[in-house]
RNA sequence: GGCGACGUGGCCAAGUGGCUUAAGGCGCGGGUCUGCAAAACCUGUAUUCAUCGGUUCGAAUCCGAUCGUCGCCUCCA
């Protein structure tokens, strides 16, 4: 299996440190607001990578942090006249709702910075003892010049950075590129006690501490959005590796942006949709299909038109699933040969190549056509055909990609009383028999208004939810 | 200014040296089925991969130039 590593800018053979265990850390949101659909892409794609690793037999420990100390949080809490903790509590709950709607598998741990103050302090102390971090009146900075491979992830060198520096001049820093690991408390800000006095941690150090605490000093995969490469991940490497003397993460994975009109979707530009708005309008499967149909590292343009075309794609999948579930209990019927071995192979080959989900998805759709065709051509297939088809789709499209959800189908049958619909269908059949097309169409239209679509076939009329 | 990514059909998008005279989804045209529709299936939709030049027996794929788009260098998934 090949994984593209931002650190080396190459696809590398994936070799976990301690197979079958895999440790994976993904930089999650700052919980000061609802996250937008661009953040959602990163979260969903990291979910799919995790699921595929599980499919491959790995035992994945998946950690996604929530940043709950930060300037934006403090500002917004002040605006609303509530505490930072009250604000983050609200948006943490919203985050959990949203990822659930996205049908993401919950992380093993969702660590928060405020619960890791001791670990953070320990790392800073180590850095200070090694002469890499320095304290200026309660503000502690990381001396970038002391870490010789600084810039190895982002491909930047310190000279270039200084030339183009748009960094504010801070008299306390020894070098303009140095960054805060501990910020002295200002009035009106939340603070924690430390050996340097009251203050709060810098953003980058939080992730270093939480990753080490929950996954160890060296982990397999560290992932996040493309914009985190510099400075966030670069600084995490500098701090962690300087503190431990060990490599921090073996594989660095970064997700492409979701764009609107070719521009990065972002809070600051204001060109965003919140994930929750979009998820209220479209099924999670449609969004996931949209994401999965392009490569995780490429930028992806976002528009309603594109979600809607993805939604049509999921409907095609769902139509097949209905047919499969209908046939699964059949006892008799003819046998048919389907080369599943090859399909699993193609799916796996695609995903093994740096998670080429677009190609993997094409294997699914090829199968959809083949299965539909078999069902039409041999109207009486045996149950084995249906079972194997369901097994294949569950293993790939559902468990790995999450672009279908079999649970959505079982619920209707069990809980709703559909006898009145069947009566309507019966009335319509009679009308059809009497060649009373007007009445037949009226019945069909009235059912459609209530959200039920009728489908006539050789085997009779069935309905589906709109 | 420095660093990086990208430009494939009407839209989205895979493919990065011969298996591809370019997957898959959506759309559109024609057909099968149907009372009609829906669904499904069949079929047609790029002699061509931004442009120009080069390397090669062979290039969308490698090299160079040109044009265009985007990102990072500041909080940001």
pLDDT greater than 70 at residue A374: yes
d(CA A290, C1' B23) / Å? 17
pLDDT, one tens digit per residue, over A102-136 is 999 999 999 999 999 999 999 999 999 999 999 99
Joined tokens for residue A256: 């492409």
CB A378 within 8 A of CB A458: no
Domain boundaries, chain A: 2-278, 305-408, 416-465
d(CA A94, C1' B6) / Å? 35
| Helices A234-244 + A117-129 axis angle, to 10 | 70
Residue nearest to nucleotide B42 (CA to C1'): A373
d(CA A262, C1' B69) / Å? 8
Would you tell me how many other CB atoms lie within 10 Å of the CB of residue A414? 6
Residue nearest to nucleotide B34 (CA to C1'): A456
pLDDT, one tens digit per residue, over A74-92 is 999 999 999 999 999 999 9
pLDDT greater than 60 at residue A434: yes
CA distance A138 to A202: 13
∠ CA A184-A157-A6, nearest 5°, is 95
Q: Is the peptide bond preceding residue A31 cis, with omega within 30 degrees of 0?
A: no
pLDDT greater than 90 at residue A204: yes
d(CA A349, C1' B58) / Å? 27
d(CA A72, C1' B75) / Å? 8
CB A337 within 8 A of CB A382: no
Q: Which nucleotides of B are covered by protein (CB under 7 A)?
A: 1-6, 11-15, 23-27, 33-42, 69-77
pLDDT greater than 80 at residue A459: no
- Residues 314-343 of A near strand B (Cβ < 7 Å)? 315-316, 319-320
pLDDT, one tens digit per residue, over A157-173 is 887 776 555 555 667 88
pLDDT, one tens digit per residue, over A32-62 is 999 999 999 999 999 999 999 999 999 999 9
Architecture of domain A305-408: Up-down Bundle (1.20)
Q: How far is CA A412 from CA A51, A342, A408, in A?
A: 27, 34, 7
pLDDT, one tens digit per residue, over A292-337 is 999 999 999 999 999 999 999 999 999 999 999 988 877 778 888 8
Contacts of A329 (CB under 8 A, 6+ apart): A383
Could you check: is the Cβ of residue A203 within 7 Å of any atom of nucleic acid strand B? yes
d(CA A386, C1' B28) / Å? 33
∠ CA A386-A392-A395, nearest 5°, is 135
Q: Which nucleotide is nearest to A260 (CA to C1')?
A: B70
d(CA A436, C1' B11) / Å? 42
The predicted complex's ipTM stands at 0.95
Q: Which residues pair with A141 in a beta bridge?
A: A134, A180
Could you check: is the Cβ of residue A33 within 7 Å of any atom of nucleic acid strand B? no
Could you check: is the Cβ of residue A262 within 7 Å of any atom of nucleic acid strand B? yes
- Residues 288-317 of A near strand B (Cβ < 7 Å)? 289, 293-295, 298-301, 305-306, 308-310, 312-313, 315-316
Buried b (16+ CB within 10 A) or exposed e, A221-239: bbbbbeebbebbbbbbbbb
CB A464 within 8 A of CB A453: yes
Q: How far is CA A359 from CA A165, A256, A348, in A?
A: 41, 17, 10
- Residues 69-108 of A near strand B (Cβ < 7 Å)? 70-72
Domain at A2-278, CATH class: alpha beta
Question: Mean pLDDT throughout A179-191?
Answer: 92
d(CA A8, C1' B52) / Å? 33
């Amino acid at each position: 299996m090949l994984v593209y590593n931002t650190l080396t800018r190459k696809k590398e053979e994936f070799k976990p440190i301690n197979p079958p265990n895999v440790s994976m850390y993904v930089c999650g949101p700052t919980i000061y607001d609802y996250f937008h659909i661009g953040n959602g892409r990163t979260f969903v794609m990291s979910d799919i990578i995790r699921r595929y690793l599980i499919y491959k037999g790995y035992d994945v420990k998946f950690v996604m942090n929530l940043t709950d100390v930060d300037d934006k949080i403090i500002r917004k809490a002040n605006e609303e006249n509530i505490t930072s903790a009250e604000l983050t509590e609200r948006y943490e709950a919203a985050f959990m709702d949203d990822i659930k709607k996205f049908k993401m598998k919950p992380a093993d741990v969702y660590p928060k910075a405020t619960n890791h103050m001791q670990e953070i302090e320990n790392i800073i102390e180590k850095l200070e003892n090694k002469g890499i971090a320095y304290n200026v009146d309660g503000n502690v900075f990381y001396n970038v010049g002391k870490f010789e491979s600084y810039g190895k992830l982002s491909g930047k060198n310190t000279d270039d950075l200084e030339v183009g520096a748009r960094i504010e001049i801070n008299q306390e820093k020894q070098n303009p590129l140095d960054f805060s690991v501990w910020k002295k408390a200002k009035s009106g800000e939340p603070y924690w006690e430390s050996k340097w006095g009251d203050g709060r941690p810098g953003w980058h150090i939080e992730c270093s501490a939480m990753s080490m605490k929950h996954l160890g000093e060296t982990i397999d995969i560290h992932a996040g959005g493309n914009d985190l490469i510099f400075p966030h991940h670069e600084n995490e490497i500098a701090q962690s590796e300087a503190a431990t003397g060990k490599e921090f993460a073996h594989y660095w994975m970064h997700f492409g942006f979701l764009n609107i009109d070719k521009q990065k979707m972002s809070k600051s530009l204001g060109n965003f949709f919140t994930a929750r708005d979009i998820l209220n309008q479209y099924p999670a499967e449609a969004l996931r299909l949209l994401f999965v149909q392009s490569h995780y590292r490429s930028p992806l343009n976002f528009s309603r038109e594109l979600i809607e075309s993805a939604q049509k794609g999921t409907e095609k999948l769902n139509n097949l699933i209905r047919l499969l579930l209908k046939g699964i209990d059949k006892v008799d019927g003819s046998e048919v040969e389907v080369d599943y071995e090859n399909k699993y192979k193609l799916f796996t080959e695609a995903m093994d190549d740096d998670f080429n989900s677009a190609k993997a998805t094409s294997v699914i759709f090829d199968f959809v056509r083949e299965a539909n065709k078999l069902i039409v051509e041999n109207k009486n297939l045996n149950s084995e055909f249906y079972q194997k088809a369901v097994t294949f789709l569950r293993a790939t499209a559902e468990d790995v990609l999450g672009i279908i959800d079999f649970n959505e189908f079982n619920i209707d049958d069990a809980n709703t009383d559909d006898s009145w619909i069947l009566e309507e269908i019966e009335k319509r059949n009679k009308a059809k028999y009497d060649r009373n097309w007007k009445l037949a169409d009226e019945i069909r239209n009235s059912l459609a208004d209530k959200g039920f679509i009728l489908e006539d076939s050789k085997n009779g009329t069935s309905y589906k939810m709109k």
